[in-house]
Amino acid sequence: MTTWVIIMFAVFLGLLVLASVKSYKKNRTSQEFMLAGSSLGVFLGFMTFSAALFSAFTFQGMPDFFRQHGIGAWIFLAFSDGAMVFFILWFGQKIRKKAREKGFKGVAGLVTDIYGTKWAGYLLFLSAFIFLIPYAAIQIRGISVFFDAVFPAFLPRWGWSLILVSIMILYAEIGGFKAMVYSDAIQGTILLTVLWLIAITCIIKLGGVQSMFDQVAQTDVKLLSTPGPKGLFNWQFLLGSLIAVMMIPVTQPQMTTRLVVMKNLTSMKKMAYSVGIFAILVILATVFIGMYGAVKYPEASAQKFWAGALLYDQFHPVAGLAVVGLFAACLSTTNSQIFALGNELRSLLPGQEKKVMYITKTFLFVFSILVMIFASLMGDQIALLARVSFTGTAMMAPVILAGVIMKQKPGKELIAVSLIALFVFLGSVAGIVPDKIGMLQIDILLYIFTFGTTVISVFLRSHK
Amino acid sequence: MQYNKKLWRIYVAVVILIVAFTFSPLIIKPEKVEPSVMGLPFTLWTTILTTIVLVVVTYLGGRVSPNDEEESK
């Protein structure tokens, strides 16, 4: 298998070098470096959006989620993605309109202009910083656990993290956003191919789809319905996830930016349903891998399940491609998140172009180091950690949504609402605030609070 | 792709109905496995179908949703 890993890596790294050479241009402006000149067509736009969305969290987290909590994981992510792509039709048009009116460097900069106060931008940057660093760290964590399983005792986990982060920094600093878009296209293709190769092997090994689900029923019939064996997928969890996922294009700056940099609105709309098709295909493959794990590795740790189902139970070329696929997924998603943070910072910086570019590049480096530190501290519950990131950034939705909906300046009270929601949610993650009040989960309550106040504020100010 | 307000609103309503239907006890009923289709348990195949419908409605909605940009040739 090691030979195949080396061969696949050589091909992949060759493609990356090609992409960065093609993207490298001397004396780029920060706008060219960070936003690729805002001219993405349908194919590259769809691939870069999908690759930023589907990562180690999808590759490793989703099969493990299906294995442990059952088929409700489909509603958690795939159904929610279906709703999200429809929402993009409306939100994408609104944010692009505002971006045309105000100019676009980043979401934080845009809301600063819309609200007429830097506090709106600072709040958005703070939320992106708090939740994107751990989200990016999930990817690094995933890949280091995986490599540790493939090459046991060859390097400590932090050593794998260091290698990945180094490649990431080098690639991002040389190629910029354009290189990332190319690597996303490569990653998306590998991800879809390798997940289905693995899924088909899993189906064949268990004697077909019917036989696979019969065997899952014998292992634990609760995996075949909601809320699953541990009761995770209750309606509140699923509804909270639906809202959090629908808000990804609004509140995760790496995704918002990808809507704005599309060549035109028609391309963006085509990109939206293409992402929906991609989501169905990718997540369907993870259903079969997860069900395979439920039969073959019901009690194993996440690490043992990943090593077994994704590598050792596969044909060697597929296992080699799986290692490269996961590496590529980590690279593109982490890069997009780090880059988004850099871009948000850039959009808040005043001053000369050269100085802004220098500070942004320095902070790309600093963010990468922070990601590496976090990766060595966190646990293996990848899918649940990703949900925390989606939910946390979703608390910023009032600021952005009111900003793009309203023709006039939105009320500053919405900044306070989002800030309160952010701190309450952080309190619940830290265990200071209860995660349930009465019958309702805290995230549902916070959505009622934030969206309710947004509707009231927008209504009152629009009818003044 | 011309903006058609009436059709666009119909698609928005369809999406809201699909979400409500999927989250109703008709679909996410605890421990409901049958009827299965090709081995897939009830909640899985029904939600795969509703997800496909969402993506199809996104395709159709994209043809009639608000479009205020000059297309670059």
CB A61 within 8 A of CB A282: no
What is the C-alpha separation between A405 and A407, in angstroms, rounded? 7
Structure tokens at A231: 């009761």
pTM for this entry: 0.87
Chain B residues closer than 8 Å to A276 by CB: 54-55, 58
Give the Cα separation of B7 and A248 in Å (integer). Answer: 26
Give me the residue spans of the domains in chain B. Answer: 5-64
Q: Which residue has the tokens 């019969």?
A: A214
How many other CB atoms are there within 10 angstroms of residue A127's CB atom?
A: 27
Domain regions of chain A by residue span: 2-19+41-381, 395-464
Whether the predicted pLDDT of A243 surpasses 50: yes
* Closest-CA distance of chain B to residue A90, Å: 7
> Which pLDDT score is estimated for A27?
55
Lowest-pLDDT range, A78-92, A284-298, A330-344? A330-344
Contact (Cβ atoms closer than 8 angstroms) between residue A213 and residue A224: yes
Please determine, for residue A379, whether its predicted confidence score (pLDDT) is greater than 50.
Answer: yes
Which CATH architecture best describes the domain A2-19+41-381?
Up-down Bundle (1.20)
Residue A13: phi and psi, rounded to 5, are -65, -35
Q: What angle do CA A390, A395, A400 make, to 5 degrees?
A: 105
Mean pLDDT across A66-73: 93
Is B48's CB within 8 Å of A266's CB?
no
Whether the Cβ atoms of residue A320 and residue A8 lie closer than 8 Å to each other: yes
pLDDT at A399 over 80: yes
The model's pLDDT over A158-196, given as tens digits with 9 standing for 90+, comes to: 787 788 778 777 777 776 777 778 888 888 888 889 999
Mutate to test the interface with A, among B3, B10, B44, B67 (most CBs of A within 10 A): B44
The CA-based angle B27-B32-B33, given to 5 degrees, is: 105
The B residues from 18 to 37 touching A (CB cutoff 8 Å) are 19, 22-23, 28-33, 36
Over residues A438-454, mean pLDDT? 90
Candidates A233, A269, A273; nearest CB to B55: A273
What pLDDT is attached to residue B72? 47
The mean pLDDT value of chain A amounts to 84
- Residue B62's contacts (CB-CB under 8 Å, 6 or more residues apart) are A89, A269, A270, A272, A273, B1
Chain B residues with CB inside 8 Å of A287's CB? Answer: 44
Which chain A residue is nearest to residue B32, measuring alpha carbons? A225
Interface ipTM: 0.93
Residue range A254-270, pLDDT digits in tens: 889 889 888 888 889 99
Select the residue from B28, B34, B63 to test the A interface by mutation, using most A Cβ atoms within 10 A. B28
Q: What is the pLDDT of residues B19-41, one digit of tens each?
A: 999 999 888 888 888 888 988 99
